[in-house]
Amino acid sequence: MDLKNLTYEVRKKGTKFIVVTGGVCSSIGKGVLVSSLGVLLKNAGYSVSVIKWDPYLNVDPGTMSPLEHGEVFVTHDGAETDLDLGHYERTLGISLSRDSSVSSGQIFKSILDGEREGKFLGKCIQLVPHVVDAIKSRLFAFALNHDVDFVLLEIGGTVGDIEGKVFLEAIRQIRSDLQPAHIFHGHLSYVPRLEWTGEVKTKPTQHSVNALKEEGLVPDCIFLRAAFAIGQQQRRKLATMCGVAEDLIFEVLTYKPVYPLFIDLQKQGVSKRIQEYFGILAAKSSNLSQWQELIDRINACKKVVKVALVAKYVGSNDPYISVIEAIKSAGYAHDVAIDIVVIDAEKLEGARNSENWDLLKSVDGIIIPGGFDKRGGEGKMAAVRWAREQNVPYLGLCLGMQVMLIEFGRSLVQLEQANTTEFDKNTPHPVISLLEEQAKVVTKGASMRLGEYACKLVPGTKSAQAYGQDVVSERHRHRYEFNNKYKAAYEAQGVVFAGLNPESGLVEIAELQGHPFMVGVQFHPEFLSSPLKPHALFKAFVGAVLEQINKK
Ligand code: GLN
């Protein structure tokens, strides 16, 4: 369908759009705000879906360093996306697809591919209209493909960035294409307090709204991210300076964990005001009782248990955000708070008497998350060995399963030089290796085994018990696999292959018999865990941790 017809159809359908931009600086929580708005609307009885526009030129974040860009979240249909999609899925309890993640890279690629195919009929291709039209078309097609009352749209980056301008221009045009009553624009800004005078400053917010005005946009509402309550005087000033009604200026305070923010925004009347904007006069209120129950449960947690995340990136938790969320949620389900200690795997490579080893020795459970390349690989195997020998509950995720099986190979199966061909191409015992079809792949982008695959569970195993199901479907993101040539030798040493792909026979889950809980999975269960519905394997892991503590 061409843009004209798409626009017509969207108008006819009456989809309501809520767009969120961010000002002043990054990392002020646009993704959390969008999720929160979704929670309010969903719990008021509306259906919602979410789309993220990322102004960077990468086609997707799959090729970016997790240190720079945080975790790569994988959707059920195998798209490698921004971690914000994880926030949306977890808080809204919905499953998003590839079409929820749009980058400049994707838009430009489609334009340039089209140009080479001669689709532009001799025209000179320009940012306006061609690029902007492509952006609008993606959004409208999304709205037509998803039967929801509200489409929430987050624009990545900060207003004023060169990269974001075409996206803001698309919003400017959409406001007139759909008429204002179909799109609501909220702008999230940051309000600092000067350390040396104690003063609260609204000027950065004024500047960021001015940057929007330069693009022809006046926001319908402003959300103020701050570490403290914002006084009426500041709000009044912002209302005057920015041209936004005072009762459409809300504050977004910092909550850890974030769930009380939903209740706070509800109390401020955010959802009611949004509904009124769209002409819904009998605004429905949101039933947040499930979230309130979770908050009460968290507040009642008295016991704290320590779990190590033995990993490559230390400093920021963003590279492991879904894993961390999954562990914490599983803890709350058992009424315990989990203190997650991130240990630099590389620093476990020496003797067992360093500071990092002391840290590892102090924990009640160990998790090794997904990862790539050999840095820290030997340290991860040292942590696996510790967990195996000391009966410390262990959960290995993707690479975490691979290093677990390499360690078993070396210590239990007498394959002293067992390895993955990812770490050592010439290992004599490639217990983890590439399938032929992966060995042929030369491109880096979107070329792994991605998305959901089935896993058939072996009855009587810990995993089958945890899931309480025969077949499950889990998300993947990896190239390497357990080499089934070694299967029998492993089984002879007490390794149980508790989950297999029903079509290919590839190993999905491995467990160690006689250990309180030593489970590795080739997939990423963390992507299917949510605060209101923690994942079965994480719950079983925390259960095992608590059982071990009680035994002591
Ligand atoms: N590097 C490993 C592989 O590609 C594991 C990937 C991961 O942990 N996501 O198979």
Q: At what angle do helices 260-267 and 270-277 cross, to 10 degrees?
A: 60
Determine if residue 376 is left, alpha or beta; phi over 0 gives left, psi from -120 to 50 gives alpha, anything else beta. left
d(CA 323, CA 398): 12
Q: Over 90: is that where the pLDDT of 316 sits?
A: no
For 367-381, write each residue's pLDDT tens digit: 999 999 999 999 999
pTM metric for this prediction: 0.94
Tens digit of each residue's pLDDT (9 = 90 or more) over 511-543: 999 999 999 999 999 999 999 999 999 999 999
Alpha-carbon distance of 459 to 474, in angstroms, equals: 18
pLDDT (0 to 100) of residue 444: 74
| Residue 454 neighbours by CB under 8 Å, 6+ apart | 471, 472, 473, 501, 502, 503
Joined tokens for residue 49: 């879906």
Could you identify the atom of ligand 1 that is nearest to the CA of residue 481?
10
Q: What is the pLDDT of residues 146-174, one digit of tens each?
A: 999 999 999 999 999 999 999 999 999 99
List CB contacts of 240: < 8 A, sequence separation 6 or more: none
- Cβ within 8 Å of residue 372, ≥6 positions away: 399, 422
* Mean pLDDT, range 131-137, rounded to an integer: 97
pLDDT at 348: 95
Distance 244 CA to ligand 1 centre (A): 48
Catalytic residue list contains 182: no
pLDDT tens for 440-482 read: 777 777 688 999 999 999 999 999 999 999 999 999 999 999 9
Cα of 371 from ligand 1 centre, angstroms: 5
526 assigned to active site: yes
Tell me which of 251, 398, 407, 508 is the catalytic residue.
398
Give residue 21 CA to ligand 1 midpoint distance, Å: 34
What is the average per-residue pLDDT within 267-292?
A: 94
Helix (H) or strand (E) holding 96: none
pLDDT at site 304: 92
Q: Report whether pLDDT(345) > 80.
A: yes
Q: What mean pLDDT is predicted for residues 68-95?
A: 94
Catalytic one among 69, 146, 478, 524? 524
Distance 409 CA to ligand 1 centre (A): 18
Cα dist from 476 to 309, 405, 473, 492, 522, whole Å: 20, 18, 10, 28, 7
Which pLDDT value is given to residue 467? 98
Atom of ligand 1 at shortest distance to CA of 477?
A: 9
Give residue 65's pLDDT band: very low, low, confident or very high (50, 70, 90). Answer: confident
Q: Is 207 an annotated catalytic residue?
A: no
In this structure, the residue with its CA closest to atom 5 of ligand 1 is 399
Average pLDDT along the chain:
95
- Under 8 Å between Cβ of 95 and 76: yes
Share of the chain above pLDDT 70, in %: 99
Residue 300 pLDDT > 90: yes
Q: How far is the CA of 133 from the centre of ligand 1 (A)?
A: 37
- Name the residue of 312, 323, 372 to mutate for ligand 1: max ligand atoms within 8 A of Cβ: 372
How far is ligand 1, taken at its centre, from the CA of residue 519, in Å?
Answer: 16
Residue 405 tokens, joined: 């099986």
Residue ranges around ligand 1 (CB below 6 Å): 370-372, 398-399, 422, 477-480
| More confident call, 221 vs 282 | 221
Question: For ligand 1, atom 7, which residue shows the shortest CA distance?
Answer: 370
Lookup: tokens for 357: 């080893």
CB 545 within 8 A of CB 307: yes
Instruction: Enter the tokens of residue 161.
Output: 């960035």
Question: In 263-389, where do the E strands start and end?
Answer: 303-311, 336-344, 365-368
Mean pLDDT, to the nearest integer, of 113-127? 92
Residue of 323, 480, 483 to mutate, ligand 1, most atoms within 8 A of C-beta: 480
Q: Per DSSP, which regions of 272-322 are E strands?
A: 303-311
Q: What is the pLDDT of residue 63?
A: 86
Q: Ligand 1 centre and the CA of 401: distance in Å?
A: 9
Catalytic residue among 87, 515, 526, 535: 526
pLDDT at 416 over 80: yes
Q: Which ligand 1 atom lies nearest to the CA of residue 372?
A: 1
Instruction: Write down the residue that tokens 């998790």 correspond to.
Output: 367
Pocket test for ligand 1, best of 74, 323, 476, 479 (most atoms within 8 A of CB): 479
Ligand 1: atom nearest CA of 480 is 10
